[in-house]
Amino acid sequence: MYNVIIVEDDPMVAAINRQYIEQNPLLCVTAELRSGKEALAYLQTHTADLAIVDYYMPIMNGMEFLQAVRQQSIALDFVMVTAVNDAATIGQLMQLGLVDYLIKPFEMKRFTQAMEKFITQRQITGSKTPLEQSTLDKLLQAQQETGSNELLDKGLQQRTLDILYACLVQNKNVLMTAEDITEKTGLSRVTVRRYMNYLLDRREIISEIDYSTGGRPCIMYQLSTSSKHSKK
């Protein structure tokens, strides 16, 4: 089992990352930290194997955190998960020794690839017996072939769906209108309604009509108890 910390100032993004990570039985999230400074303080008294790190954070950003960890010789692997996409910054971060770099928004499959890449590297570096070239080649080949990007049907985006699932899970005992979900997620009303229809078709959510509004009846949505996400 590998211990993972999430260094991310956005609680909703952190919750989504946690869901992705905990789908792998070899990974366990041991802490969520809201800044590089908080994460660095945590590592003074705790150990971890992998850190999922955002770049834009208060007090100490992702690069400053990585630099501090390297300067203090803390044994920790990193996967950057950030919207930063300029080549210069990415190059500087890669030089600090990343397992992988994910640019937001990304799909779950790509995140899963990064986690499996980390596990493969740990299997290689943690081996207590000398590796033969053929064994090493098989491990590296498996790492390259792990996963593939899949598009949701109807042209929907996995990232948007994940944001909505996170909102529905956090409010699974509450009936919400499309406007409520828009306010909580920052997505547009049109987008929310489109995805709610998709989730209704898949029976991932239920809907009720509220006639007590005093005006036009409104549709209320809630995560279905039969959804696998309701167990989270």
Q: pLDDT band at residue 147, thresholds of 50, 70 and 90?
A: very low
State mean pLDDT over 105-110: 82
User: Which pLDDT belongs to residue 158?
Assistant: 78
Mean pLDDT of 69-95: 91
* Whole-number Å distance between alpha carbons of 22 and 29: 7
pLDDT at 41 over 90: yes
Going by pLDDT thresholds of 50, 70 and 90, the confidence category of residue 85 is: confident
**Residue pointed to by tokens 């920790």:** 76
More confident residue, 126 or 102: 102
Structural domains in the chain?
2-145 (3.40.50.2300), 154-231 (1.10.10.10)
Q: Which of 181, 162, 161, 156 is nearest to 171 (CA)?
A: 181
Integer Rg of the chain from CA? 20
Assess contact for 10 and 52: CB atoms under 8 A: no
**Region 202-222: what's the mean pLDDT?**
83
* Separation CA 19–CA 159 (nearest Å): 13
Label residue 148 by pLDDT band (50, 70, 90).
very low
Task: Answer positive or negative: Cα dihedral of 49, 52, 57, 63.
Answer: positive
Per-residue pLDDT of 151-210, as tens digits, reads 355 677 777 888 898 899 889 899 999 999 999 888 888 889 889 988 888 888 999 888
From the CB of residue 227, how many other CB atoms can be counted at a distance below 10 Å? Answer: 19
Q: With CA atoms as reference, report the closest residue to 33 among 24, 21, 45, 41.
A: 41
3-class secondary structure for 148-198?
A: CCCCCHHHCCHHHHHHHHHHHHHCCCCCECHHHHHHHHCCCHHHHHHHHHH
pLDDT given at position 150: 40
Model pTM score = 0.60
- Dump pLDDT digits (tens) for 46-66: 999 999 999 999 889 999 999
